[in-house]
Amino acid sequence: MPDLIDLHTHSNRSDGVLSPTALVARAAARGVSLLALTDHDTIEGCDEARTACAGVGIRFVPGIELSTQWRGQAIHVIGLGVDTASPVLAAQMDEVARRRHERMLAIGERLASRGRIAGREIAAAALAAGGIPTRMHLARALVAQGYADDTQQAFDKWLGRGQPGHVPIEWPELLDVMPHLAGACRATVLAHPHRYRLSGGALRQLAADFTAAGGAALEIDMAGMSPGDRDRIASLARRQGLAGSAGSDFHDPAVPWNPPGRFAKLAEGIAPVTERLDDA
Ligand code: AMP
Ligand code: MN
Ligand code: MN
Ligand code: MN
């Protein structure tokens, strides 16, 4: 395994700031030698990223971060080494894109009716950004139109739970999505397991369900993980016999503490998921 790798990054094809080409240039400058692009619910940026990686000698892994739910909680699952021509994956992406588009319009309506601000214009501006529409696009539009000082405040004040623009969304069920995703990629990774608001028992059950559904790995090396989180998630991986993945979840170069690239060394006794990606 090379020294600096990144199996979780975003471009402006979803809610990242950089184009795939600019993301690859930044990764190259940091010395990343293996890079996956894992935009939310789209593989749109993969061709561009692959070409850019070839130009700078980075090994590229096409990827995706799919939005799903399990026991009513949003859960993100990453596909690595995806078959970008898979019709099953295309159908999955279309369905999520449809739900996301509807949600953007519904949030716009709520911001107008409950928030008494120019919600429809905000939704229109967010949709005009292109790529897969996310709440981050709405947060940026709220900032641009003067309704929040920064995107975190836009979530806290307008978009988050209990706020005027909060609209719950039903994602496809994790256990329905898993067979489709697992059949269309080299390895599936349960994204940022330490961030879900689940009890210890529920998190163990999630990992068990994910494993039974063909899941391959847990993300166990990310910026912002405490040593306690790292130990907890590593134990969970060992218990389930899951591999480990490492990624930054890079979105924005303005966040200096989270550049692309993680050291590839994982905890003792955990196989790197990169072993499953050979000749991908
Ligand atoms: P969503 O459209 O719900 O998938 O959210 C898109 C992105 O917004 C997520 O991938 C996060 O990067 C960001 N995000 C979601 N919820 C919050 C929050 N409460 N505070 C800050 N950022 C958030
Ligand atoms: Mn995101
Ligand atoms: Mn995520
Ligand atoms: Mn992500």
CATH topology of domain 4-92+185-276: TIM Barrel (3.20.20)
Cβ of 135 closer than 6 Å to ligand 1, yes or no, is yes
Strands, E assignment, 114-215: 187-190
Which atom in ligand 1 lies closest to the alpha carbon of residue 103?
A: 2
CA 15 to centroid of ligand 1, rounded, Å: 9
Cβ of 113 closer than 6 Å to ligand 1, yes or no, is no
Which residues of the chain fall short of a pLDDT of 70? 1-2, 279-280
- According to the model, what pLDDT value does residue 2 have? 47
Strands ordered across the beta sheet of 243-246: 243-246, 217-221, 187-190, 73-80, 59-70, 34-37, 4-6, 262-263
Strands, E assignment, the chain: 4-6, 34-37, 59-70, 73-80, 187-190, 217-221, 243-246, 262-263
- According to the model, what pLDDT value does residue 1 have? 41
Q: Please give the C-alpha separations between residue 188 and each of 182, 202, 210, in angstroms, as whole numbers.
A: 6, 20, 9
Asked if 266 and 246 count as a contact pair (C-beta separation under 8 A), the reply is yes
CA 54 to centroid of ligand 4, rounded, Å: 23
Cβ of 15 closer than 6 Å to ligand 1, yes or no, is yes
Cβ of 157 closer than 6 Å to ligand 1, yes or no, is no
Residue type, 117: I
- According to the model, what pLDDT value does residue 264 have? 81
- According to the model, what pLDDT value does residue 82 have? 98
Cβ of 42 closer than 6 Å to ligand 1, yes or no, is no
Query: What is the domain partition of the chain in residue ranges?
Result: 4-92+185-276
Angle formed at CA 45 by CA 43 and CA 46, multiple of 5 degrees: 70
CA 238 to centroid of ligand 4, rounded, Å: 23
